[in-house]
A and B are shown apart, each in its own frame.
Chain A
Amino acid sequence: MELCDRTAAELGRMLRTGEVSAREITESVFERVDLKEGLIHAFITQTRELALKQADASDRRRREGRPLSAIDGIPTALKDVICTRGVRTTCGSKILGNYIPPYDATVAGRVLESGAVLVGKANMDEFAMGSSTENSAAGPTRNPVDPDRVAGGSSGGPAAAVASGEAVLALGTDTGGSIRLPAAFCGVCGVKPTYGRVSRYGVVAYASSLDQVGPLARSVEDCALLLNVICGHDPRDSTSADVPCPDFTQALARGVKGVRVGVPVEYYVEGLDPRIKARVMDALELMARNGAEIVDISLPHAPYAISAYYLIATAEASSNLARYDGVKYGFRAAGPVPDSVRMYEATRSEGFGKEVKRRIMLGTYALSAGYYDAYYLKAQAARTLIRRDFDRAFERVDCMVTPVSPCLPFRLGEKITDPLQMYLVDIYTVSLNLSGLPGMSVPCGWVEGLPVGMQIIGKPFDEATVLRVGDAYGRMAGCT
């Protein structure tokens, strides 16, 4: 097996024994990039020179017996929505096509300070709005499993990079499923932590009350290693939770005996590809055989989740994206304009893609005078009810299992012309963002050569149980 295809945990062991160097790992990754990137297009910006320097520094540290962390020397990709000082950060948009942040996001800082090697900034749907990474101004990312199909979105770049060996670890963001969906589509693991677990400072905002940063990797263990680096209170983010972070690797190798696994009936209805349902059911059966207790539960307000999400997220986004006006940074429309209003109009019309403009208009509408109560406020009320459904159900179960996506990875261009069809792909994932709960996608089988992902949902701040179940399942099923 090539170095670039190994897990971070394995590579960590090999680095510790001296069997391999960070430089060799990084070179292996870039060889794969040279081979695959032309087709896959997982990256917007590669930081090859920097990466090699970082790898050498990592090797030096290791020789001196002072590695910075368990992922010191591991090649990592960062979704291009995460600000990296001095390194172009575009959010997949023309309007930030030339933006070089003057500061690091807190998570970027933590990853770099852990000694990880930065492969590059990964491709994404523009401003994280999308489920297929077809909305990127830099062009789509293709699914390494089947390059005629999408990698999922909006963290398609991070997922594809990890799946194709162009990075070992990656950080993505998840607002409505944007880590979990691409993870499922590309056959890797992805975690959306509890809202507030990971700092959002320096992570370009799409929907402030829904966004979270999380790991994508080839194993649950690798996700745990990365979570250990990025989780924790940040005083620069007022929504960051001041709760202690456990060592997430402690959750591993603990089996599922006695774990009560909830199965929400509303998630297994018409519209779900029966083959996907079958794979998830198989997984549940395997868990049951290994001591888990499977419990039917109901989340009655589930049908309102998509509507609530697309009102709240777009409303917050319409405000968060108001700062892209060509005044201070980024793209400004060329040519003379009579006044600032025209400049704003030209800049934003040219700088934003179609989907972004669509969502800004939707969100503006939902917040406008006369409609605020009926749309935004109502959606927030629905959100509270959705959260309450989970709280009530969690009195009887420790976690829940659902599909990640109602459909298999679709072909490029298949859904892009029908926005509502595209929105429905998020149907199983958005509730977690609305309720702030942690969730993980782990591969649970194949359908006609395409990967299927299983979503594990946990109680607030109980990533440990989510990781435990996902890791245990992987061992049972014979994959990492």
Chain B
Amino acid sequence: MTDYEVVIGFETHVELKTRTKLFCGCLVAYDAPPNSRTCPVCSGQPGALPVLNRKAVEFTLRAGLALHCDIRERSRFARKNYFYPDLPKGYQISQYERPFCENGHLEITGDDGLPYAVGIKRVHLEEDAGKLVHSASSFGESEFSLVDYNRSSVPLLEIVTDHERNPLRSAFEARTYLEKLRQILRYIDISECAIEKGQFRCDVNVSIRRPGAREFGNRAEVKNMASFRFIAEAIDYEVRRQTEILESGNEVPQETRLFDEQALATMTMRGKEDAPDYRYFPDPDLLEVEIDEAFIERIRSAMPELPDHRIDRAMKAYGMARQDALVLTRDREISDFFEACLVSYPDGARIGRWITKDLFKALRDAGLSVQDSPLTPEAFVRLLGMVDRRVLTEAVARSLLAEMVRSGGDPEEMVRERGLEALQDGGELRKIVDEAIRENPRAAARIREGEEKTVDFLVGQVMRKTRGKAPAKEVREMILAGLRG
């Protein structure tokens, strides 16, 4: 069987976190009662007119800049005309010939382990449609459908990859791209990108061709899968399906398909002949949007630092390993927490390690995210400071952290109130070490014979007796000195 070259493209729709909708003053709300966030404009009443939300344009340009796009000086909205009950005006206000942003890229690590600048064809702004709720569990069984226009006219960013310039080449790269895109958009604070809330929706185009072929194969478009995993499954299924078709000497039909989550397979939804003609034309109700350099500069200078930049900085300024830096910057909230700590704690590598090991564990155990936890960066830094000054042992610090992650609190106060200070008194410590040795003669014997593992056991015993307050290193030295002389 020949190995085909896979070409993958994405159209991603991202719901922007503006306060109000794209063309009217209705508040954007996720869980409001049906049709409670509507007005004449977004419910398509006769005579209503759109007025552009400036913040949505700012967010769009922020995304364009983060994706290294060219920003158009003059941009235009266009009407995409089609009939569907969730589209109140019978057309969607979108962009066609003159989108805000074009010709950008997003850098990922490609299949070959090398940096790969995935081509971004365009980033444009458009309005969302309403929601349909069917009376039965499937559309086919339903007697009626209800329409909720709360979501109608919520601002959406449409991000389209370039299938000609550095396209995605595998399910792995596809997944990497989506994760990176989502990360960047959350970093620049224009969307929460919560997939389960429909804030990050992906349609994927898959086609295959013989390596070296100049023309593209016919593509299948698979719409709206509910998770990154399903997207990867759909891509794999499509590559297999299309390969089989080509191998048996047939042509892959150009079509739109749906993904079946149970079967992990795709099926035909709409053929090329049924593809609608949207009759795009510039929306005469909205004027051209003029973007000047000054506006772009203002957005650029106010832009939050991007993950790649933070990774670079973490590696260069703090000598962090790339893998650690990646983990630290994956989520914006963790990364922000880290940056906040750095304000008063210069040893980035050390605090980075404490975050990715100990803080992550504590948050996991408590079932909390860092933004939901009452633990503040300042308190965390103070805790670590006490460990550095040997006022606290690491063991005690960890158990305190577990508590602070759940209920906050000032570490210095907590240590003072409960007498958690590390045991500094050498004599006192000596006594406890001797006691542990006496109580564990078999362990002592094994250590004398040279076994290293058992030292840990004895250290553990001392820790128990001191309730973690003994400094581990010194205890270890004392045990070794005491038994091996």
Chains A and B belong together in one complex: yes
Instruction: Choose one: B43, B44, B46, B85; the contact of A340 (CB below 8 Å).
Output: B85
A472 to B160, CA, bound (A): 61
Say whether, besides A208-B285, A322-B91, A323-B44, A368 and B279 are in contact (CB < 8 Å): yes
**Within residues 38 to 53 of chain B, which ones have a CB less than 8 A from any CB in chain A?**
40, 43-52
Q: Is the CB of A369 within 8 A of B89?
A: no
Question: Which of A89, A101, A327 has its CB near the most chain B CB atoms (within 10 A)?
Answer: A327
In this assembly, does B374 line the interface, its C-beta being within 8 Å of a C-beta of chain A? no
Bound Cα distance A322, B91 (Å): 7
User: Is B218 part of the binding interface, using a Cβ–Cβ cutoff of 8 Å?
Assistant: no
Interface residues on B, range: 20 to 34
| Chain B hits for A372, CB < 8 A | 279, 281
Contact B147 A209 (CB under 8 A): no
CB contact list, A201-219 vs B, under 8 A: 201-205, 207-209
Inter-chain contacts of B51 with A (CB < 8 A): 235-238
Known: A322-B81, A322-B90, A323-B90. A204 touches B47 (CB 8 A): yes
Minimum CB–CB distance from A281 to chain B (whole Å) comes to: 37
Task: List A contacts of B64 (CB < 8 A).
Answer: none
Asked if B286 CB lies within 8 Å of chain A CBs, one says: yes
Q: How far is the CB of B272 from chain A (nearest CB, A)?
A: 13
A446 proximal to B (CB < 8 A): no
CB distance from A198 to the nearest CB of B (A): 13
Let me know if B40 and A239 touch, CB within 8 A: no
Q: How far is the CB of B127 from the nearest CB of chain A, in Å?
A: 14
Contact B83 A238 (CB under 8 A): no
Contact A201 to B47, CB < 8 A, known contacts A238-B285, A322-B91, A328-B88 = yes
A325 touches B46 (CB 8 A): no
User: Which B residue's beta carbon lies closest to that of A322?
Assistant: B90
Q: Size band of the A side of the interface? A: 35 or more
CA of A328 to CA of B86, assembled, Å: 10
Give chain B residues whose Cβ lies under 8 Å from the Cβ of A344: 83
CB of A167 to closest CB in B, whole Å = 21
Q: Does B79 contact A (CB under 8 A)?
A: yes
Measured CA separation A364–B91 after assembly (Å): 13
- Interchain CA distance A207-B89 in the complex, whole Å: 15
Interface centre among A208, A319, A364, A376 (most CB of B within 10 A): A319
Q: B52 and A238: CB pair below 8 A? A: yes
User: Would you call A89 and B285 a contact (CB within 8 A)?
Assistant: no
Contact (A325, B90) CB under 8 Å given A83-B46, A204-B46: yes
Contact A322 B47 (CB under 8 A): no
Nearest-Cβ distance from residue B146 to partner chain A, whole angstroms: 11
On chain A, the residues within 8 Å of B426 by CB distance are none
Of the candidates A202, A207, A209, A238, the one whose C-beta lies within 8 Å of that of B47 is: A202
Contact A327 B147 (CB under 8 A): yes
* 30 CB < 8 A contacts A-B: A83-B45, A83-B47, A96-B46, A99-B46, A101-B45, A102-B40, A103-B45, A105-B47, A202-B47, A205-B285, A208-B285, A236-B51, A237-B49, A238-B51, A238-B52, A238-B285, A238-B287, A318-B81, A319-B90, A321-B90, A322-B90, A327-B85, A327-B147, A328-B44, A328-B45, A328-B147, A340-B84, A340-B145, A367-B81, A376-B281
